[in-house]
Structure 1
Amino acid sequence: MRVTFVGVGEAFDEALPNTSLFVAGMTGESRRTVLLDCGFTAAAAFFGCPGLSEADCREGPDALWISHYHGDHFFGLPFLLARLQEQGRARPLFIHGGGDVAAMVAAVTDLAYPNLREKLDFELVCLEARPGVPFAMAGFAARAALTGHGAPCLGLRLETRFGALYYGGDGAPTPAGRDLASGCALVVQEAYGLEAGVPGHGSVAEALETAEAAWAGALAVVHVRRELRRERGEDIRRTLSGASIRAFLPEPGDVFEV
């Protein structure tokens, strides 16, 4: 499993692209890829990401996961679709998300470019994920659980041949989300604040507690409030370095492999 951090920022960070991950892994004997979230600034970051191969940027992912319908998690979709169209994509793009995913994909795409969907040379296949119900994404076994966000948001466990990933989207960890993180090679958790109690969001302390209790192989902390990351970034790194597991604050383009 290879996880590339396309973006690691929060919604309105002027320096860091919105949090987005490109996951490549094996299912059977085949390599498959998934892009996790695609916000305002994430689509542009994807096509310029130094951690991705030229082929992956040209071909795009096999599937896209939308954790929830806030702009910093899916408003980059029209950019992604238009660019893939220009680059000659022909194979379907599978888009997974929570309730009304097909309607939300249509709405944001049509608002940006009213004629784009009918001009696409590739099919958009929208598939609804439900908490607690196993499903498949790009051939990977997957499960989702609600997180503690202000809007309905789904954390995701993705099983590849050589390791599992948990991506929490936005929101404080929930018991169901902690269950999905159990034994994962990598847990990616948002930490808008330092300590628990940030309304609708998680914290560095909760991210560490979740990953350690889950016996995860590693923890990546993302979506840190921009002022906090600028002013207390070194403090956060020191805190993470003292964890009982590998824990880090990734930069755009960083790669994690197992």
Structure 2
Amino acid sequence: MQIIFLGVGEALDAKQPNTSILVLPDNQQQNGQILLDCGFTTPHQYFKLHSSPEELDLVWISHFHGDHFLGVPLLILRFWEMNRQNPLTIVGQNGIADKISQALELAYPGLQNRLGFPLVFKEISPEAPLQINTIEWQTAFNEHSQPCLSLRLNQDDRSLFYSGDGRPTPATLLLAAGCDIIIHEAYRFQEDTPGHGSIAGCIDFAKKAGVKRLALLHIQHADRLQFMPEIHKMVNQLDTIEILLPESGDILEI
């Protein structure tokens, strides 16, 4: 399973694209590509790497903040322009179909009725996981200003956890336990911000989950500018967990 960090920034970061991860599972012919969140900047980041309109099969939306889902209309518009034929599946919490349809109609009125490919919507909840092809999808709510689902993807003996936005909860800790990698938003270095994670909090979360690999992203833009040397020093002092501070375009194998 390969992970490509299309973006690692938060909504207001002018230098870092919005947080978005492209997952390339094993046996892509059966499973396709999975895009985790699709904010304002994500479509351009995606099409820097991929020229085919048919490779992306699934889009995951963790929550309905613009930097995590308002890139979907542009993604769909580009696929329409490129004459996509294959269905595009969009997975998210209750209301996903209405939210995407409303956003699409606001951005490009009438486009949904002109598409040459189907949009397939699948709702998921902590009580109702999904099995899509060979991948198991499980979720849990974290603590955020909008309801936000953290996601665990399991394929054979490999698994990843993606937080979306939000502070860890007991439910997300159970969800993350024992996975190969945690990808978590770490909005602040030291300051406590309601509804968001912190560097120290994410490290503690990974330790409690028994996970040896942690990728920190969605760092607040002012903290990224001011504190990155201190953040690197902090994470480099730890030898029990491999802590990654990925940049946009970085690729990881699990």
TM-score of Structure 1 vs Structure 2, range by shorter chain: over 0.9
Distance 1:213 1:196 in 2: 21
How many Å separate the matches in 1 of 2:190 and 2:96?
32
Q: In the alignment, what sits opposite 1:224?
A: 219
Q: Which residue of 2 aligns with 1:182?
A: 177
Match of 2:6 in 1: 6
Match of 2:56 in 1: 61
Superposition deviation, residue 86 in structure 1: 1.7
- Structure 2 equivalent of residue 192 of structure 1: 187
TM-score, length-scaled by structure 1: 0.93
- Give the equivalent residue in structure 2 for 1:252: 248
Conservation of the 8 A alpha-carbon contact between 2:31 and 2:134: no
The 5 A counterparts of 1:1-258 are 1-26=1-26, 30-48=30-48, 52=49, 54=50, 58-137=53-132, 139-195=134-190, 197-243=192-238, 244-258=240-254
Counterpart amino acid of 1:140? I
Separation of aligned partners in 1, 2:47 and 2:133 = 20
C-alpha distance after superposition, 1:3-51 (max 9, x if no partner): 0000100011101110000001126983432100001112211112xxx
Taking the aligned partners of 1:205 and 1:76, their CA distance within structure 2 comes to 30
* More divergent stretch after superposition (240-249 vs 24-33): 24-33
> Which ranges of 4 or more aligned residues in structure 1 deviate by more than 3 Å?
27-31
Identity of aligned residues (%): 40
**What is the Cα deviation at residue 62 of structure 1?**
1.0
Number of matched pairs: 253
Is there any run of 5+ residues in structure 1 with no aligned partner, and where? none
Distance 1:237 1:212 in 2: 18
Range that drifts further, 30-39 or 140-149? 30-39
Q: Secondary structure at the match of 2:152?
A: strand
Report the 3-state secondary structure (helix = DSSP H, G, I; strand = E; otherwise coil) of the residue aligned with 2:219.
Answer: coil
- The DSSP-based 3-state class of the residue aligned with 2:187 is coil
Query: Offset of 1:113 from its aligned partner?
Result: 0.3
In structure 2, the gaps of 5 or more residues are none
Equivalents in 2 of 1:43, 1:107: separation in Å?
18
Contact 1:145 1:154 in 2 (8 A): yes
Residue identity in the other structure for 1:20: S
